[in-house]
Structure 1
């Protein structure tokens, strides 16, 4: 389905204060009309439940703080513009495989990111991306992500603990889990140390009707029509 034209936007767009929701519209890219009409005013952007394959046009939201891209078709070709104000990025249930490449792009272009969620992508080895994943795989992944993004406060559905952050600094560099690429080879783990303190993740992804936050307690409820969750002002002590 082709992207909606500007004359179709008013009935599909929810814009309140600085929050813009354009979800469940089957668009493959960010409509130019959204950028032109709302870009400079938007701080919270929800584009969940579409078919987005490119973030072209995202640089038209220069003061963006929160970006929800859950349930789209974004892959390892994802490219971010430089967004120094972005604090929250939700990429649940996309098609991202290469965690190393993604983290490099985030470090370069999203320097103030504090909240990141990748549940449901192959790059995030928990039960949502494959039954073969176990708790140790997921904890290694957390150490690896936190080593590269040490300023994160929340990763996926769980708050980052100080002991976890310390462990990530110590050995997170070696914690990437490499999966076979169809050649029948066994999984290669760059570090086989067991870990503790794992907090189980949700056993199923929420649907568009469920607005419960993946990041903890919120001070307001963001209720875009198909948002993956309430977004995203957390308590100051997080």
Structure 2
């Protein structure tokens, strides 16, 4: 560590409010400071400075500020708060912002407008599961087989919902959120763009993936594709 880096680390230790300025005006200095700071410790307490800037970062991500994504990638390497509850709130928000920042295109609508009236834009949003852009979301025959009775009857009991939550593991969540971000920024129909972003907001908590109508429609679509190709797939139901 050179003298400049030692001096900066000491300043951060003595004046942690410096993070407010760094995060409020994200730039190359923010990125280098975060990288150096996190390299020395796996658990930090940056939550007090991160929560207030999330709306700003989200707006800049929607406008294509990829530097935000680089900063978040560094932040994602560490626990950002000693409190598990704060980490649980920060992680999905940062993930969504990172994905939005790295997705080409610009939002043709007001982000704040969607956030303030989320329920309105989620009406019938599950139909986005039928878009060709979402056809790449794959589930194997083996994964869906335990759900065949539930999907035929259009009802998922609590035990099945726990299984569904396992199907939407972190890698699959990342892929689906990336597809929704692409739709939000590039789809030619404005209403669909808004709904795609609304879905991203609605999927912020991991536990909702097992009961979100959009997610369940994704499962149902793949199940009926298997059934159409082989009607014996659901035998015994």
Question: If the length of structure 1 is used for normalisation, what is the TM-score?
Answer: 0.30
Task: Report which of the two structures shows the higher radius of gyration computed on alpha carbons.
Answer: 2
More strand, by proportion: 1
More helix, by proportion: 2
Q: Which has the higher contact order (CA 8 A, sep 6+)?
A: 2
Question: If the length of structure 2 is used for normalisation, what is the TM-score?
Answer: 0.30
